[in-house]
Structure 1
């Protein structure tokens, strides 16, 4: 299994079950992204953080059993506070996750492209990142910040730098609104970024 960071640029399709992941692998993709929004939608549920850690872990395990490419897993807010984040990372990595994404939204969270989001304090998110870093063996930690739509671009950028300093490997700046914002974010950072391209929402 290749390391996700071996590639300068990687296009990763969102998947929601073993069959969709298998199709992605057969089409030649080098990794898949188990989307929280995709998984909840496939269950007929809204993307509001309503799935359980058990449901997510079982899906990761099922995908891992039939594919040989890295799985990026959307773990929402980590299913709780610091101790819960530690357990979340442990279970997801054991199930087969190659990278685990945790966001800085207040729980219960909302889809990143909806209005009315709230973010937790920077210190609270740092505690979660430290817990995730302590729990993982080889999995990468992706820190998602929703601050752009709540407290502005400069706070999102500042949070990103803090999250990397505290142990995250990749930053996911959610819901940037145009090409210039992505360029600005990339020009002012020197670490790997994840960009979410979806067919709806605030990002073109």
Structure 2
């Protein structure tokens, strides 16, 4: 008799508990999620910024809805077997909205969601001029999320954007409140120095996530260095999107300038590669 394969949520929970700095790549859609899975990553992060940029062609300023997010989550769940972490922004409102968000995304196939303490509508964590709700209100929303989940393997990741608004120590204090409210993991967004990065896993009792925004405010280090600091997840939420944007620009610039684009140009995946990613038999 074959042993039972652990469910995606169990795999994610175990990987986070090990605190070994797993690199998690973000996807904006199911196609990107398939690429991430086929390259051997252990989990996929469904990026709110990525969905907003690709679905609407707009900046990450709180434009997407829960319906948009649930639709993309379900599509990714159908496309891959990896654990899925979903960026649920502010939870789309107050505690009642957060409860609905958790139930909706858990049914859609998410294994973890990230909730943040920004004023709604939120902004990208590496934009300026952010605002946060009170620490007590944010903790209440985290408790509502914890209480709403059905499975104990559905993880609540609590993010604070208070570094840029109230300072680093205030952000750590908020993360502690979120842990008291039941968060399985916390995420102090946009620390700006290596010293601050080192302090985060030491100061907080639950596993930690570091968000590496390419071109953003947080220092970029090797994943092994983040792991030595004690981080559980090293998130590259939009590396695939930024790579795809550069690739599209190069391929289409060549097409516009030359009037021709072939498989041997080195600028595009081959027809066979494209079909293989989406699972079409030969």
- Which residue does the alignment assign to 1:169? 184
Q: Find the counterpart in structure 2 of residue 5 from structure 1.
A: 13
Query: 1:191 aligned to 2:206?
Result: yes
Give the one of 140, 146, 155 matched to 2:161. 146
Unaligned runs of 5+ in 2: 1-7, 220-282
Secondary structure at the residue paired with 1:11? strand
Work out which of the residue numbers 31, 37, 42 in structure 2 matches 1:30: 42
Corresponding residue for residue 127 of structure 1:
140
> Equivalent residue for 1:82?
95
CA distance in 1, matches of 2:110, 2:116: 16
| Cα distance in 2 between the residues matched to 1:189 and 1:83 | 28
The number of residue pairs the alignment matches comes to: 204
Gapped regions of structure 1 (runs ≥ 5): none
Q: Deviations over 1:119-156 (max 9, x none)?
A: 10011111111111111122100100001111011111
CA shift digits 1:69-118 (9 cap, x unpaired):
10000000001111000000000010000001100001111111011001
Query: 1:53 maps to what in 2?
Result: 66
TM-score by length of 2: 0.71
> Who wins on radius of gyration, i.e. which is larger?
2
Moved more, 121-130 or 96-105: 121-130
Q: Residue 136 in 1 paired to residue 149 in 2? A: yes
Which structure shows the higher helix fraction? 2
1:101 is matched with 114
The CA RMSD measured in Å over matched residues stands at: 1.0
Point out 4+ residue stretches in structure 1 off by more than 3 angstroms.
none
Q: Which residue of 1 aligns with 2:54?
A: 42
Does the CA-based 8 Å contact 2:13-2:155 persist in structure 1? no
Q: TM-score if structure 1 supplies the norm length?
A: 0.97
Distance of 1:124 and 1:190 partners within structure 2: 21
